[in-house]
Amino acid sequence: MDILSINAGELRDSIEFYTASSTKDDGGGYAASTKTLAFSMLAKVVPKSSKKTYEGGKVEYTDTWEIKMRYETGRVPNESYKVKYKDEFFSIIGIENVLNRDLVLKLTIVKK
């Protein structure tokens, strides 16, 4: 398979990208965080790994996923965006523009 192309049949998962902003309360602190839909796309989403850690008397699970999607000018995410997939929010920890050709993006996302 060519790494610079994605078959249309592989793009089965709908994902949404959100920007997050915080609003200050009257005391000057950040009281509320709101998420605004930036754009949505079809992509291929694949689970990569799951890690269990024990820290501070608490067990924490970290799930890592990979998203493969087409590059579209004006709809390129950055690491400050949140990804919504199947009603769950994920953080972006890595973005790769495959071979720097502006054809395919690979994103690494995590859920804690």
Q: What domain range includes position 63?
A: 8-111
Prediction pTM value: 0.84
Count of structural domains, the chain = 1
CA–CA dist 19, 16 (Å, integer): 10
**What is d(CA 91, CA 29) in angstroms, rounded to the nearest whole number?**
23
Residue 2 lies in a domain: no
- pLDDT-based confidence at 12, cuts 50/70/90? very high
pLDDT tens digits, one per residue of 61-106: 889 999 999 999 999 999 999 999 999 999 999 999 999 999 999 9
Q: Is residue 1 part of a domain?
A: no
Q: Is position 99 within any domain?
A: yes
Which CB contacts under 8 angstroms, 24+ apart, belong to 42-50? Answer: 42/11, 42/12, 42/13, 42/14, 42/15, 42/69, 43/11, 43/13, 43/14, 43/15, 43/67, 43/68, 43/69, 44/6, 44/10, 44/11, 44/12, 44/13, 44/68, 44/69, 45/13, 45/15, 45/85, 48/108
The predicted-structure confidence for 15-66, as pLDDT tens digits, reads as follows 999 998 877 766 666 667 789 999 999 999 999 999 988 888 898 888 999 9
CATH number of the structural domain spanning residue 41: 2.40.10.270
Q: Is the pLDDT of residue 110 over 70?
A: yes
